A and B are shown apart, each in its own frame.
Chain A
Amino acid sequence: MNIFVCVKQVPDTETKVQPNGDGTFIETSSIKWIMNPYDEFAVEQALLVKAANAGSTVTVLRVGGVKDTEALRTAMAMGADDAILVDAEDNLDSYTIAKSLKGAIDKSGKSADLILCGKQAIDDDCLQVPQVLATMMELPSVSVIVGFEQAGDTVTVKREIEGGALEIYEVKTPVVLATNKGINTPRYASLPGIMKAKRKPMQQLSLADVGVSLEDRRVVYSDFSLPPEKPAGKKFDAMDDAAAAGVVAEVVGLLRTEAKVL
């Protein structure tokens, strides 16, 4: 099987995000990048499917800046065979990213049997790329999957819905699947894996190579800013009964006039 995994590189969860100079994105110069955690489940699932289907290959795809390539290298250190990197700004919208991914798959010369993505990226939380990609490729898609079984060209996937209930889908490959936490336990990249990844091929393409231009963007980010700082909390001293009566009236008043929650 030809398995493709779309991975995004996101700032480490401990990063203190700051808008960049012109507000079109976040400041990336000192960010430590990691693979989007939901994509780790997709990579792991791809490797499990590969192990169960002799002769399969796993190709990881990423659209983004070429300076840091942690996510692709990690995926190859975990066991993916090769990688394609589409050189682009890190602040493209979901539509352009999906179009670039489709272009990269077309360009790879392989017909995709299975395309895996994480269900969402933890930085912009758009939750769109897998579905947009599936639509562009005219393939079925199931998102937020927590279970995966395969019998030939049929896969049975479990999907978590509101309240913890499960939906079960039977779909024919090729299909686009978006993984959720719980589907598997991603392996660590082993040290020999890291050494081997050095020699695995990483193809670099431009947006033009995959048939995309910045004119394709449906959403253009224009103004990143930090949320307003929360004002400090107010403390009311009501240690004795006499004070308490007055304080209650004051608090109720403020809840009406200042917080406007009553």
Chain B
Amino acid sequence: MSDLKNAGKYYWHYLKKYWFGFLMTSILIGISTACIVIAPTYLGKAVSELTTYLQQWTDAATRGNASLGSFHKTLWIYLGLYIGDATTLLIASWILARITAFSTGTMRVGMFRKMQRMQVKYFDSHSDGDILARYTSDLDNIFNAMNQALIEIFL
């Protein structure tokens, strides 16, 4: 449990300077999600407007009133929503990609610095392969996990 707390502190140390990025992503993702949720209703609306149009057109009495105007407008809104979704999503994932790459990089250099400050005793009690693995597979795992976690949290 205290391990978990320490891990939390550790990540916080490396992630806190990205708070603005996280805030931006949250807002952007909020917008993008809203777009995705709303868009299908416009799809439904377009189909039902089309149905109404077809009914009016089929009936000789109302054929004169039949118009595709509102159908076209709905389609444009539908498109607009998806463009909004795509741009916000693009910017958000771009920021996240930046954060994961750069924070892992800082962690890597931080670890190396730390290694320079360790006492020789530490290197005697840990095998070289073990220490090296931290630079490659452990950091790689952290990178993947962070990528995954941030995507799950935000997207």
The judgment on whether A and B are partners is: no
B-side residues, CB < 8 A to A, are none
A-side residues, CB < 8 A to B, are none
